[in-house]
Amino acid sequence: MPFTPVTGRRLLTAKDEARDILLRAAAGAVKQIGASSLHITFLPKEEWLAAGDAGYLLRTGQQFHWENRGYKTFDEFLGELSSAKRKNLRKERASVREAGVTFEWLTGTDITEAHWDQFFEFYMDTGSRKWGTPYLNREFFSRLGQGLSGQTLLVMAKLGGRTIAGALNLFGEGVLFGRNWGAVDYVPFLHFETCYYQAIDFAIARGLNRVEAGAQGEHKLLRGYLPVETYSAHFIAHKGLARAVDDFLEAERMAVAENISELARHAPFRKKSQP
């Protein structure tokens, strides 16, 4: 926070009264220093509602999360999916395995600078192919390894003695957070296996409660990651602009809620196993 899109407390107060004072003081500071706006992202729903009461504009978003309902194995998780979806996931995993791809989980001191060199190559390749501009430099990954290696999971995929793909995850407080991935060779379903299925395997092995795979990508739904709402609050100093944005956000909140409801209807779980 604020770089990583992970929900957590943003208003560090012990009492509700102090929280409300903090929200109003922050809005007052926007006017005092002549700023155009103030934005609080990925805050819990309780803080989000309090911000609305304090005059902030309210926005919702959507992410995809996988919930661990006490699974002991990946097959136990598959057992809660509908027959067709279960067959599809097994087919995808088998395809990667039969292609000869193997996987290695690296955490803590097992992660070396050589691993970061490899992952940085994957990261840059993904950024180039998506017609974007990679915003993390090589030093970032070394510093991540120095400061948070114990909460870092690198999933590295190997084929024919070469490392061809990798996924960067962070974990803590019972949650695994998927962040970046990249590959230099194409193998069908490699992305799904490296980013989604290996993450589930790791979460089950470590007894983690949840995997947060981030926003975008309805393809995650078919792989057991369900849509959830995220929240942000915004204070805009210009009253006319604030009214216009407020009108938009009201319609957007309805659209997000409808989209989540519709996606949930197409969840891959058997009806009696629906979360």
Q: What whole-number distance in Å separates Cα of residue 52 and Cα of residue 49?
A: 5
Provide the residue-wise pLDDT of the chain in tens; the chain has 275 residues: 556 789 999 999 999 999 999 999 999 999 999 999 999 999 999 999 999 999 999 999 999 999 999 999 999 999 999 999 999 999 999 999 999 999 999 999 999 999 999 999 999 988 777 666 788 999 999 999 999 999 999 999 999 999 999 999 999 999 999 999 999 999 999 999 999 999 999 999 999 999 999 888 779 999 999 999 999 999 999 999 999 999 999 999 999 999 999 999 999 998 765 55
CB 27 within 8 A of CB 55: yes
Provide the pairing of β-strand 37-41 with 162-172.
Answer: unpaired
Q: Terminus-to-terminus CA distance in the chain, angstroms? A: 28
Residues, the chain: 275
pLDDT at 157: 98
CB 165 within 8 A of CB 181: yes
Q: pTM score, two decimals?
A: 0.92
Q: What whole-number distance in Å separates Cα of residue 209 and Cα of residue 44?
A: 18
CB 183 within 8 A of CB 165: yes
Amino acid 264 reads: A
CB 182 within 8 A of CB 123: yes
pLDDT at 214: 87
Peptide bond into 275 cis (omega under 30): no
Query: Tell me, what DSSP letter sits at residue 180?
Result: E
User: What are all long-range contacts of 258-262, with beta carbons under 8 Å and residues at least 24 apart?
Assistant: 259/62, 259/227, 260/62, 260/227, 260/228, 260/229
pLDDT at 126: 82
pLDDT at 164: 98
Instruction: Give residues with Cβ within 8 angstroms of 246, minimum separation 6.
Output: 57
Q: What whole-number distance in Å separates Cα of residue 235 and Cα of residue 187?
A: 46
pLDDT at 152: 97
